[in-house]
Amino acid sequence: MADLPTSKSLLAKARDRSDQAAWRRLMELYSPLIEKWVRPHVAQRADAEDVVQEVLTTLVRELPRFDHNQRPGAFRAWLRLITVHRLRAYWERRDSRPPATGGPDGQEALAQLADPASALCRSWDEEHDRHVTKRLLASIRLEFQPAIW
């Protein structure tokens, strides 16, 4: 699947913190994905929810300064790095290790997620594209007759 960009108009609207509809749309779109990214790396569901909230808080704070470089996937890569930094901070606060997931250990996983060329990073990118495509299609489905859909 080609890189699926986040709507630049949605990002532009969400930069304005007073545009509640844009923020709600951005959160509805990305909260489940961020949770899916975080959950395998945090043992307790409540802790995973806290990390997701930290990612979203960082997103709210930093989005007005986000510099879109016009490359496909720029926002997705930026959001992934925020997630990696929040996971790293979680583990440092807990002075703990991430749960064993049958894959790379925590520090190696974070390094792979920060490396756009790694298999784990590509897997997250593919998951992002599937998630966004599914959500966007669901949001427009009612605009079509069932026979056309």
Q: What is the mean pLDDT of residues 35-56?
A: 91
Are 31 and 52 in contact by the 8 Å Cβ rule? The answer is yes
Residue 44 lies in a domain: yes
Q: From the CB of residue 18, how many other CB atoms can be counted at a distance below 10 Å?
A: 6
* pLDDT for the residue 49: 94
Residue 114 lies in a domain: yes
- For residue 19, the enclosing domain spans 8-139
Residue 51 lies in a domain: yes
Whole-number Å distance between alpha carbons of 88 and 97: 10
pLDDT tens figures, 97-122: 555 444 456 677 777 777 878 888 78
Q: Please determine, for residue 32, whether its predicted confidence score (pLDDT) is greater than 70.
A: yes
55 exposure class (CB count in 10 Å sphere: 0-12, 13-18, 19+) = buried
> Which of 4-8, 71-75, 104-108, 115-119 is predicted least confidently?
4-8
Work out how many domains the chain is built from and give that number.
1
Tokens of 71: 């490359």
Residue 105 lies in a domain: yes
